[in-house]
Amino acid sequence: MNGIRMIGRASVLSLLLIICLGGAVEADGPLVWDQPVSGVLKPNEAEKYDLTVTRPSKLTFDVSGFGENTRVTLQDERSKQVLYQSLTSDGVRPEQAVLSEYVEPGNYRLIVSEYILSKRAAAYTLSATAETITTDDREPNNGTLEAQVLPFQKTVRGMLSAQDEKDIYQLNVPKSGKLSLAIDTYLRGNAIISLTDSLNENVFSSYLVSEEKSPGKFRRSVYVEAGNYFLTLSRTSTQTGRYQVQAAMQPITTNEQEPNDGVLEATRLLFAQDYSGLLTWQDHHDYYRVTLPKKSRVTFDVTAMIDPSMTIEWTDPMNKSLYYRSLSGNEKTPGRWKDSLELPKGTYYFRIGSTYYSGYYHFRLTASHLFPVLQINSVKVGARQVSGTTERNATVRLTINQRTYTQKSNQTGRYTFSIPKAKRGTTITVSSENRYGKTTEQVYVK
């Protein structure tokens, strides 16, 4: 047995190639990358080349032969087949095959053999190259217990090889918000991308088609609660290759009180307050509760950043729907909807939800029964004052002849405005505003 060392280029993988001869081989001296080794095989004869790979690599073998049925097989150290190709030649023109595979560090054996029933000797030529693949993934990372932590705002490079069907990364989300993933795959075929939570519940799964020179690009954002998540990249069949992934996290600050996923957990609302909430892949509905001591007109102003849509619904204590509306919007173009509903005394539930989509929202409610009561004394021709009553310390505005005057009502709720001499038929508009809303009335000079 002759031992021959294959010397690699400095920029490529260091590879040790030992040739175990079963027939004649032209291999006198070192075997250099991209330079061929030739041999002749008799039927049922084989030559074996042992390789030691020290870093994640892409191995390429260029084989040509004149045999009737020349077989090329690459095995790993467990004798598992990594590559296989059969070459059939008419003996005049050589058959050629270029084989390549992404592999992990380890020991491999390349076997070139001729079929037992072949009727002639088989000459062949073989050359090998190895390309080091720079990766950041740390093996093993094939399950959640050995998942590699994926840092935010950093590109991580990895490789799915003949021995490594999937890589799993752990994302530690400290606060609820928007999780964004940017993944480029250079696999020779389909990749499967999936995100699960710590209970192994599926957040999403997606197929991505790619090629080595035409990468597949995956971009997706999802709103999630705080917790641990697992990103899995896996290959289908023998479609190996490299990839890169980057994750980003944008915390979303809200003032909603969880849980508020049903009427029994509904958050009590105060009028004239700004509220914000977040719908995530786990949290599809937020419920709020309002109680009216008397008949009132409730106005709701909602802004949605949930793409493509969410729903707004009002229900009574018997779960009867009183109002339903779909609202579209996204972060760059928020959707907004303002409407009002006349409701009798009682308790009501305000629901914001989206069965399939996630995002955040803002809203504000006002109720007319909390607006200031406003009374205006009659104004006669020639009058130089307008007076009346409202609640104390309210902001009162008077508009006459396209001019507006503003003052605060006193501690008893009275207000008095000096105006130009009033003319018959002139319209006078007075409004009184408190923290809950505004009441507006008009009088005419008589």
- CATH label of the domain that carries residue 303: 2.60.120.380
3-state SS class at 145:
helix
Q: Are residues 359 and 389 in the same domain?
A: no
* Regions of the chain where pLDDT drops below 70: 1-33
Using only the alpha carbons of the chain, give its radius of gyration.
38
Structural domains of the chain, count: 4
Half-sphere exposure of 388 (CA within 13 A, CB side): 25
Backbone φ and ψ for 144, nearest 5 degrees, come out as -65, -30
Domain-terminating residue out of 251, 284, 306: 251
Q: Is residue 283 part of a domain?
A: yes
Q: Are residues 90 and 117 in the same domain?
A: yes
Give dist(CA 211, CA 200) in Å, integer: 30
Q: Are residues 22 and 122 in the same domain?
A: yes
Domain-terminating residue out of 205, 229, 251: 251
Q: Are residues 242 and 152 in the same domain?
A: yes
Q: Is residue 139 part of a domain?
A: no
Backbone φ and ψ for 265, nearest 5 degrees, come out as -110, 10
pLDDT value, residue 83: 95
Which residue range(s) make up the domain with 346? 263-369
Q: Is residue 1 part of a domain?
A: no
Domain-terminating residue out of 335, 369, 403: 369
Q: Are residues 357 and 413 in the same domain?
A: no
Q: Are residues 166 and 207 in the same domain?
A: yes
Q: Is residue 337 part of a domain?
A: yes
Q: Are residues 15 and 62 in the same domain?
A: yes
Q: Is residue 404 part of a domain?
A: yes
Q: Are residues 78 and 158 in the same domain?
A: no
pLDDT value, residue 236: 85
Which burial class, exposed, middle or buried, applies to 178 when counting CB atoms under 10 A from its CB (0-12, 13-18, 19+)?
buried
Q: Is residue 137 part of a domain?
A: no
Q: Is residue 27 part of a domain?
A: yes
Q: Are residues 22 and 126 in the same domain?
A: yes
Cα–Cα distances in Å, from 103 out to 52, 129, 347, 408?
A: 11, 13, 66, 80
Q: Are residues 300 and 361 in the same domain?
A: yes
The full 3-state SS of 254-271, as one line of letters, equals: CCCCCCCCCHHHCEECCC
Give dist(CA 218, CA 194) in Å, integer: 11
The CA angle 240-234-149, to the nearest 5 degrees, is 115
Give dist(CA 229, CA 172) in Å, integer: 7
Q: Is residue 322 part of a domain?
A: yes
3-state SS class at 203:
strand
Which burial class, exposed, middle or buried, applies to 326 when counting CB atoms under 10 A from its CB (0-12, 13-18, 19+)?
middle
Q: Are residues 315 and 211 in the same domain?
A: no
In contact, 308 and 328? CB cutoff 8 Å: yes
Q: Are residues 319 and 388 in the same domain?
A: no
